[in-house]
Structures are given as C-alpha cells and as structure tokens.
Structure 1
Amino acid sequence: MKLFINLLPYMPNIDEANELLDQWQGGIEISMDGPNWREPVEWDREYFRFERHAGPVSVHSPIWELNLATPRFEVIRTYSYEVYKQCLEWSARIGAEQMTIHPNLYCTPSFLRYESQQYAKENLMRLGEKAQSLGVDLAVENVGFGSFALFTQEEFVQLFQEIPNIKALVDVGHAHINGWDTPAVIRELGEKLCAVHLHDNDGKGDLHLPVGKGGIDWQPIWEALRSLGHPYRAILEYVEGTATDVVLADAADIANELKGLPAQ
C-alpha cells in the first residue's frame, strides 16, 4: 500500500502547499482541473510547483466539460477522448503512476443508460490501451449519485471484468452516498483495485470530510483493504480548508490502520 494526499485544497495557496510538502514524503495526487476545480490551469506550469517532491505522483484528470459517455453528442465524446489521451501522455511525461478518470460527467443524468454505458466502455477500452502503452494505470472512479450514477455496484465491479486494461478506483465517500457495500466491492474487485479515495460524509452530500467525521463505518473497510494481497494506492481526498496538521495526522493514523498496527 502507498499512501497519497490529494493536493486540491492546497493548490490555490503555494505557502500551504509548501508547508505540506515540507512535512510529507508520501505520494501526492495532482488535479488537472486546477485549484478546487474552479479554473483551468496550464498543466506543465502547475506541476512545476510540486516537482521538487520526491515521492510518487498520481494525477486526477479533468472532469468539467468532458463526457466519454454522452449518447447524444458524438463531437463531445470524441473531444473528451482526445483530451483524456493528452492527459495520459502528460501523466506519463511527469512520471505519474496513475491517472484517475471519471467514466462520465457525474452531474449529467443517464437518460439513455444502456447507450451511455456502451460509449463509456468503448472509450475506456481505447484509453486503457493507451495507458498500458505509456506504463500508467488508468484508474476508473465510481461517480454520480442516484439517477446520475452510470454504474450500479454490481455493474461497476463487472466493468473491470469486461475491460481488462483498466483498473478500479473506489471512492469510499461516493459509495457511501449510493448505499454500496464498500467492503464487498473492495473484496470483489481484488487485484483489479488499484486505488481508493478516502473521505467521509453524512450519507447525503459529497462533503469530503476527514475520515471519522461523518457516518461511514470505517473498520470493515480497513479490514477489506488489509485483506488485499497486492499493492494499491490509498488517497486522502479532503475538502478545501482542511488544516495541514489534520491531514498529516490522519495520514499517519490511516497508514497504521492499513498495516494493522495499533493507533499511536
């Protein structure tokens, strides 16, 4: 297991980012949508702020204005595929181990669900081939809530049996809102699971609270993760404004949990 911290809360403030990186030697996840998904950035310049970090790197590809699954607009699907292909190439260029991708635009209802799933699978398979050629894990995240979710729990697990060249990223907070049996999903995915996003919520809103500050029952999740027999990435994905000392303390506690060690 490798532990990562998502840098999204720190990207607007270089001093906060440096404070974190001065104390953190583990992995970092960089968002390509820019500070808190509020504005675009020039990717190479943004990475330059963090390239001094010696630990492993993961990338979260853009989410806004992109949709690999839209059944109505081929031009959007084609455009989205080309953007994500460029993102994979950039991820490989900076030495990222993994690129996280959303299979659809999570805030778009699935009007034509079957057709949307087929377009998503077609594009994910092509991007998976590209990722393999570049030596980057393409990590597909479970996104969307209720009617906005493209895949059910069972369909999400099956996705990685149908497409062997992609990997699964289970976002624990998203799974909780949708009522998934997260420990079961982790176990069923097995070696297809390459990463988890760790954050908490009240079961209603995607709050990205620190672990233990919401309604998620974490012990069965830790047990499921400890049962895995292969390497994976555990990524803290906390809300903007979370204090650096909270993030670092949680990272230490979670590392111990996932190693089966008693809390310090």
Structure 2
Amino acid sequence: MTTLPLLGAAMPLDALETHRDWLIADQRDLELQDFIKADVLNGDWQPLVDRARALLDGYAGRLGIHGPFWGLSLANPDPDLRALVTRRMEQGLAVCEALGATQMVIHSPYSTWMYNNLDNLPSARQDVVDLVHATLDPVVGRAEDLGVQMVLENIEDKDPDARCDLARSFDSPAVQVSIDTGHAHYAHGSTGAAPVDYYVHRAGNLLRHVHLQDADGYADRHWAIGKGTVNWHAVFAALAPLTSEPRLILELRDKAGILPSAAYLADLGLAR
C-alpha cells in the first residue's frame, strides 16, 4: 500500500441509512450483515436486497456480505448436516448475485481443541481439509462464475497457518482468507497464539478481508478502535506491504463507534 488504506465498515441496513453519506463520499468498502440468519435465507430476502439497492444508489465501492455461520461448521462430519451447510453457502451466494456483492465472509472450521489434537491421529489434519472440500466444492464453481471471494475468517484459530493452507488447497480465486483482529487477539491473550500482526504476516497476499475490532485478549468484544489493547501500529505495519488490497472493515458491536474508530485510526496516521 503506497497511500494510507481506506477504511470500510460492516453494518445492517438500519445502520446503512445513517452511514450512507460517509460510505459514498469516498466509496468505502461495505459489508452487509442482514443475511446471516437461517430465517432470513429461508424466507423472502428480496425486499432486503431491494432496500439495499435503493440505499446504495450512487455507491461504487466494494460490496460484500457476512455469510451464514450460526450453528454451521464447514468441516461437519455428518453428511446430512454438511449438506445443510452447503445449502446455506448456496443461499449466501444467491444473495451476493442479487446484490452485486463480490465477497462473502465465512467462518474457519478450526477450533482450539483441534490445535492440540489434529496431529494426535495420522489422518486428522487431512480429514478437516477433506470435509471442508466436501462442503464447499459444490459451490466454488458458482462463486468463481459470480466473481465472489469466499473469505475464511479466523474464529478460534490458534494456528495462523492452518486456515491459509486450507484456502490454498482449493487453488481458486473464490477461496481466500480473512482476519478478525479481535478473534486473533483473543487467541493470543487466552490460548497463547501469536499476536495479531503475525496473523497478517502469515496470511500474506492471501488476505483479502480484515475485520477491525478492538478487544482485551480475553473475549470477542467488538469494541470501538482504541478501547482495547490491540497493537494497531503493528497491525497496519504488517498490512502495509501487501498488494492484495484487503478490505478493511470496521466490525463493531455498537455501530455508533464506526465514525469515532475511523477518526482514531486517521489521527494515528494509519488509515483514512
């Protein structure tokens, strides 16, 4: 990155109404959060798409969605449940097509338990990869056709490499990597994982998406930037040499913190 990176944000449509001008003024990246739940995906979500399109009149930034994740594991060993996860991914991609979105955040299957046990049995590590392929292989081709990147977000990941190796195994532009700074900080503080900037270094140019949230290293806080203990100078120094242009998405629990968080990072000279 030769200039300061441009911040975007994640929000539902209700918050989009109040942040629309800020987003459109600089064509910031946007991640919509309205298409996560099963009842929405199983119902008539077209009115939500229509509302989004109306609110985004004049918007030319990079648009994405957070994909479904509640109760879902990409590495589910039960074939019936795995078929449901595949269906949810298909539903998410259908929303992307209707919106014109080009990115969908999905959750890493790796848990803290896996970190200590994947090498306990000879096939355990490959079994996870094979199960995720069984889940996602049926939809990767469609994602490629739509120009949608499915980005694997770290959740409990203590190993910053496993998720990246999983993404590489698809050998597809449709499967890339995301980092959530608060999740990485939790893993660092509570499970002994590397610090957040190491996750960025390890992902390298596989990194196409970042959830920016502050936290205390104990829980998944989604605090405004500056309210926790993430080392933001180290994080942005790790981002600086990347050429993959990851979307830098403020993902805060309280959407009123979006503009103050952007101002905080701007005042530090890290982003705009």
User: Which letter maps to 2:219?
Assistant: G
User: Which letter maps to 2:262?
Assistant: A
SS at 2:214 equivalent: coil
Q: Could you tell me which of 70, 73, 76 is aligned with 1:70?
A: 76
Aligned to 1:248: 259
Q: Could you tell me which of 7, 10, 29 is aligned with 1:6?
A: 10
SS at 1:201 equivalent: coil
Aligned to 1:230: 244
* Superposed CA offset, 1:40-73 (max 9, x none): 46432223332222133111111123322111x2
Q: With structure 1 as the length reference, what TM-score do the two structures score?
A: 0.80
- Number of aligned residues: 244
Query: What is the distance in 2 between the residues matched to 1:193 and 1:76?
Result: 29
Deviation, structure 1 residue 90: 2.1
2:66 aligned with 1:60: yes
Aligned to 1:161: 168
2:105 aligned with 1:100: yes
2:187 aligned with 1:178: yes
| Aligned CA distance change for structure 1 residues 19 and 211 (closer, same or farther; 3 Å) | same
Aligned to 2:155: 143
SS at 1:63 equivalent: coil
- Check the 8 A contact 2:108/2:163 in 1, yes or no: no
* Superposed CA offset, 1:225-249 (max 9, x none): 112123220000001x342xx3123
- Check the 8 A contact 1:253/1:263 in 2, yes or no: no
| Aligned CA distance change for structure 1 residues 29 and 262 (closer, same or farther; 3 Å) | closer
Aligned sequence identity (%): 26
Aligned to 1:31: 33
Deviation, structure 1 residue 163: 2.3
Deviation, structure 1 residue 197: 0.4
Deviation, structure 1 residue 175: 0.8
| Aligned CA distance change for structure 1 residues 18 and 226 (closer, same or farther; 3 Å) | same
User: Which letter maps to 2:94?
Assistant: E
Unaligned runs of 5+ in 1: none
2:132 aligned with 1:120: yes
Deviation, structure 1 residue 262: 6.9
Query: What is the distance in 1 between the residues matched to 2:33 and 2:130?
Result: 27
Aligned to 2:88: 83
- Check the 8 A contact 2:31/2:65 in 1, yes or no: yes
- Root-mean-square deviation over aligned CA pairs: 3.0
Structure 1 segments of 4 or more deviating over 4 A?
108-113, 261-264
Query: What is the distance in 2 between the residues matched to 1:142 and 1:218?
Result: 18
Query: What is the distance in 2 between the residues matched to 1:95 and 1:43?
Result: 14
- Check the 8 A contact 1:67/1:105 in 2, yes or no: no
- Check the 8 A contact 1:2/1:232 in 2, yes or no: no
Aligned to 2:229: 215
Q: With structure 2 as the length reference, what TM-score do the two structures score?
A: 0.77
* Superposed CA offset, 1:142-179 (max 9, x none): 113xxxx5x72231232233222111001111111111
Aligned to 1:193: 207
- Check the 8 A contact 2:74/2:109 in 1, yes or no: yes
Q: Could you tell me which of 152, 163, 168 is aligned with 2:159?
A: 152
* Superposed CA offset, 1:173-198 (max 9, x none): 11111113332332232221101100
| Aligned CA distance change for structure 1 residues 262 and 136 (closer, same or farther; 3 Å) | closer
User: Which letter maps to 2:179?
Assistant: V
Unaligned runs of 5+ in 2: 119-123, 189-193
- Check the 8 A contact 1:187/1:228 in 2, yes or no: no
User: Which letter maps to 1:98?
Assistant: Q
